[in-house]
Amino acid sequence: MAIAKLQQLQALFHDQSKALIAYSGGIDSTLIAKVAYDVLGDRALAITAESPSLLPEDLEDARTQAAVIGIRHEIVQTHEMDNPNYTANPVNRCYFCKSELHDTLKPIALQRGYPYVVDGINADDLQDYRPGIQAAKERGARSPLAEVGITKAQVRELSRHLDLPWWDKPAQPCLSSRFPYGEEITVEKLRRVGRAEYYLRTLGLRELRVRSEGDTARIEIPPSQIPSFVCETDLSQLTSKFQSFGFLFVTLDLEGLISGKLNRALGVLPKVEEKVSEEASTALGLPT
C-alpha cells in the first residue's frame, strides 16, 4: 500500500511545474524533498529556516541530507523570537511559529514563480494537536503527504525503500516544545536546552528530550533505557555539565520519553515515543 501512495506522491509532483519545500531536515520534509527532486530535478528547491529553536547540529544534518539527495538548498532566517505572542509560550505557540515561517517563505515562493509552499505534514499530524497546521493552510501551503494519506510509519517505510540512510531518524520537534505552556521562552533558555540535548547525544542516546521548567532540566529517554542509563552514566559528571549550561537542578523522568507530554495540560493524551512504530516495524520486517 505504501508503494502505491509513493506513486500518488510522485504523480502529485508531476502535475507541478516546480516546488518549494519548507525543509526542516526531519524525515517527513526530507522524504518530500527526495520525491520532489526525483520528479522535478532543479525545479525543486528546499529551504530551511534557521532560528534559535533549531539545534545547529540539526541544521548541519539538513545541509548534509540535502546534499545527498542533490536538491538545491537554501537557508533563511526567521524571527519568531521577536513576536511576544510566540515568546509568551501560549497553548497555540506553534501557530505563531508557523505563521512566521510561511510569512517568510510565501513571498520567496511567489517572487520566484512557485505557486505555493509545500510542507512535510503527514496524515498522522492531522490527528494531533498542531495549531501550526492552521497557520500553513491560511497562507496557502500544501501538504502532499497528508493529501495522499501517508502516515509517519509509511514515511519511514518509503524512506527506507528509497535508500535514505536516515529513515529511522528520531523525531526532533523544535526546542520551544520543551517548555511548559505559559513559561516565557528566551534565546538563552533555548540555547541551554539545545546544549543539554546535544551532550546527551554524545553519550550515545538517540531518542530523548530535555524538558525545561524554570531552572530544572528533566531528562526523558525511552523507559527501556532508564536502568542502563542510571547504572552506566557518570551522573555527577552529567549534572556538572548541565549546570555549566545554566541549569541549577537535573532530574530524570521515571515515566520515560513521551512525545507531546506537555500537552497533558490541555487534556490531550500523548503517545509513548517509539524509535519505529509497530506498523513501520512490521512493514520493514523488523522485530517489534
- What is the SS3 assignment for 88-156? CCCCCHHHHHHHHHHHHHHHHHHHHCCCCEECCCCHHHHHCCCHHHHHHHHCCCECHHHHHCCCHHHHH
Distance in angstroms (rounded) separating the CA atoms of residues 177 and 193: 11
Give me the phi and psi of 78, to 5 degrees please: -115, 160
- CATH number for 2-161: choose from 3.40.50.2300, 3.40.50.300, 3.40.50.620, 3.30.70.360: 3.40.50.620
Q: Mean of the pLDDT values across residues 16-45?
A: 97
Looking at residue 151, its amino acid is T
Residue 260: what pLDDT? Answer: 81
> Average pLDDT over the chain, rounded to whole?
91
Would you state the pLDDT for residue 171?
Answer: 87
Distance of alpha carbon 174 from alpha carbon 151, whole angstroms: 20
- Residue 268: pLDDT band by 50, 70, 90 thresholds? low
Residue with cell 507530554: 261
Across residues 80-90, what is the average pLDDT? 97
pTM of the model: 0.89
Q: Give the residue-averaged pLDDT of 44-63.
A: 96
Q: Which CATH architecture has domain 175-272?
A: 2-Layer Sandwich (3.30)
Show me where the domains of the chain are located: 2-161, 175-272
Buried b / exposed e over 183-214, threshold 16 CB at 10 Å, is: eebeeebbbbbbbbbebbeeeebebbbbbbee
CB 34 within 8 A of CB 65: no
When pLDDT is cut at 50, 70 and 90, the band that residue 11 belongs to is very high
Quote the CA–CA distance of 185 and 177 in Å, as a whole number.
Answer: 10
What are the Cα distances from residue 175, in Å, to 33, 180, 210, 239? 23, 12, 9, 20
Cβ pair 221, 257 in contact under 8 A: yes
Give the pLDDT mean for 149-155: 96
CA distance 125 to 259: 13
